[in-house]
Amino acid sequence: MAKMLGDRSAGERQGIAARAKGGLLVLGGFVAVLFVIEVINFLLTRSLNRTFGLRPRSADGLLDILTFPLLHANLNHLLSNALPLIIFGFLVFLSGIRVFLTALGFSWLGSGLTVWLIGDPGVTVGASGLVFGLFAFLLVRGFFNSSWKQILLAVVLFMLYGSILFGLLPTVAGFVSWQAHLGGAAGSVAAALLLRPRNRTATLAPGNRSGI
């Protein structure tokens, strides 16, 4: 029995290490792509923003939902999103690629649809909706999963980064798109609800244990 528990513990550690390595590669690669796009966009005098930025309530703007988080207004805009995107994305990735892709996809879609429906006139770009989405996912998933480890992580993250939630308020967000932030957060909450264990037995089963 002790040997079996030791093997299982070693296997879990190896699994977490593999997810951590995969998370760094995926998030690092994604942010690297954002910087490459930023350089190209700069060289083209921001013409990519005009072509692929999200235009609210326009028929062809629906396709822009797929591209607008990949573009930024300037380098400082990208830099403000890059680090939290890596941190929050990495922490979500520790629970597995399926969880990460679901949270990211719902954040992306929720952010884009909200901007398209109620966004201010003009063109919206930026990955901040994804940042808010991944952050909100980390804050709420532990309550849906009944996981004290995830709740503890949520408390720590809220203490460190909770002030960014002011970006959800129209009166505080200023020139940034609070609609993108709100939609990304709402999408990720829906993802956390979708990914919750269906029953207590499923939560406790060894094969269904989540990462951090």
Active-site residue numbers?
128, 181
- How far is residue 3's CA from residue 26's CA, in Å, rounded to a whole number? 34
* C-alpha dihedral sign at 42, 48, 50, 53: negative
User: How far is the C-alpha of 150 from the C-alpha of 35, rounded, in Å?
Assistant: 31
Q: How far apart are CA 146 and CA 18, in angstroms?
A: 25
Q: How many Å apart are CA 113 and CA 184, to the nearest integer?
A: 9
Q: What phi, psi does 172 have (nearest 5°)? A: -105, -30
CB 111 within 8 A of CB 53: no
Per residue, what are the HEC states of 92-120?
HHCCCHHHHHHHHHHHHHHHHHHHHHHCC
Whether the Cβ atoms of residue 108 and residue 130 lie closer than 8 Å to each other: yes
Is residue 123 within 8 A of residue 49, CB to CB? The reply is yes
